[in-house]
Amino acid sequence: MKKLFVSAAMLALLSTSCSEDQTTLTPGDPADPGFQTLVDEFGNVDESTNSMTGMSFEIIGAIMDGGAGPAKPTLQGVEYTLDYDTETDFWVAHLVLDDGAGNLAVISDSVQFIQDGHPRRIPNPDSLDVVRCFLTMEASGENGTLSGFQNVTLVPDYQDTTVLVTVDGRGGLQGTYVHENTDSTGTTQCTVGAAFSSTFSRVVVDVTNGTPAGCPLAGTVTHRGDLSVLCTGAKPLTHEGSWSINLTFVDGDSVRVSAVRGDNIWNFTTPCGD
């Protein structure tokens, strides 16, 4: 599956024009330290959200390709368990990623197929109504900890040569991590805390062909939450702020982004893939 969200690098292409329905907000300064902190740090939230969504799509694919057949399914080269619970009519996947160096991630995903209004173990794609997914992730390592979830529905639309999937639902991420940067001014150590909820609203993905730019064809994703950053060393910084970030996808090649903090808004439209 292609990425559902733009990367934080896209935020650097800021335009501070306001939309008509946001006239009560003041255009933010692109040089605002809080906004620059969001640009620098939000990419980790974006990447983790993309990873969870991608895992669900891969697990769904493994089930529809044969379920828990003779060969164990793999994700990122690691075998995982995949079993069907006849009491709940959900497939349950459980995966442990351990690099042997202290970094560990535990992922669980429950998947249910609804066909002709009823749960099905292995659905007929042509008659599939909806797929329900509930994924949780717990990760820890030397650089921090992260927990997250996604609770989404996927509705397929089988066209002549293409399958489109519409994603709706919600998710969330919470974590802390540390990182260190060294440049000509010296070394800076930062501790970051992030807690964001996400809402997916009619996000349309071409799962057959993708899009050249890597964006969904339509829909919106909204992230709301808190970001705190404390940096020491060459470039000391303290930031604590509540943010709302709204992404609206247009035709698979561009995205309209609004980032709001307090009474300020940063608006721009940018091509996908930048």
Which of the four pLDDT bands, split at 50, 70 and 90, describes residue 69?
low
Domain ranges of the chain: 8-271
Work out the average pLDDT over 190-204: 95
pLDDT at 48: 84
What is the per-residue DSSP string for 91-139?
Answer: EEEEEEEE-SSS-EEEEEEEEEEEETTEEESS--GGGEEEEEEEEEEEE
Q: How far apart are alpha carbons 94 and 72 in whole angstroms?
A: 12
207-221: pLDDT as tens digits: 888 877 778 899 999
pTM: 0.84
pLDDT at 8: 38
User: 185 with 233: CB under 8 angstroms?
Assistant: no
User: 137 with 148: CB under 8 angstroms?
Assistant: yes
Question: Which residues have CB under 8 Å from 204's CB, separation 6+?
Answer: 164, 165, 166, 167, 216, 217, 218, 219, 249
pLDDT at 1: 35
218-249: pLDDT as tens digits: 999 999 999 999 999 999 999 999 999 999 99
Q: Which residue has the higher pLDDT, 273 or 31?
A: 31
pLDDT at 274: 58
Which of the four pLDDT bands, split at 50, 70 and 90, describes residue 10?
very low
Q: How far apart are alpha carbons 45 and 137 in whole angstroms?
A: 13
pLDDT at 23: 58
Work out the average pLDDT over 163-185: 94
pLDDT at 211: 78
